[in-house]
Amino acid sequence: MTELWLVRHGQTDWNRAGRYQGQSDVPLNETGRQQAFSVAAQLAGGAFDALFSSDLCRALETATVIGAAIGLPVIQDARLREIDQGDWEGMLVEEIRLRYAAEWALRQGDAGSVRPPGGESVEEVAARVYSALDEIALRYPDGRIVVVCHGLAIATVVCHVRGLPVSRAYDVIPPNALPERVTWR
């Protein structure tokens, strides 16, 4: 079994404001940079075999700081990106509820398969993230791997390892920059 250390990127201004970031390339804010150094210090004593990251700048910056602390280069994989929130990216939840009331209601009823307009479903996120992790596990079958990505992407993995339906992903989104260890396949 491959041991994965999943790390959600550090905070961004959009996180702080409660905006849906999705695949918008929003950078870390100062708190997020401090969080990146803090999680890097937590991981610094560990012996890891590889470091993977989403290619979005908030994850990549977090991973770069971690990589310097653990002595590994960052391997980018776009499959580790956050959900594509489509037309909802950059919006606050209250704005979405008002402007997209019908779509919001549908997603609240079926969080796994309903897509925001122009975006992707949680099930689609899970499929691409699992594909990336399966390849990592094949490459490092008994390895210890750090994976830096995004809240909902990590939540789909947490659902899988806990035996929860992927529709519960929004209930288990981790906080920024706190490592979560799981074993994968």
User: 19, 58, 150, 160: which is the annotated catalytic residue?
Assistant: 150
CATH superfamily of 2-184: Phosphoglycerate mutase-like (3.40.50.1240)
150 included as an active-site residue: yes
Q: What is the pLDDT of residue 97?
A: 94
- Any catalytic annotation for residue 9? yes
Paired residues of 184 in beta bridges? 2
pTM of the model as a whole:
0.96
| Catalytic, out of 8, 9, 19, 128 | 9
> Where along the chain do its domains lie?
2-184
Q: Cα 119 from chain centroid?
A: 16
- Cβ neighbours of 44 (radius 10 Å): 12
Tens of pLDDT, residues 126-178 = 999 999 999 999 999 999 999 999 999 999 999 999 999 999 999 999 999 99
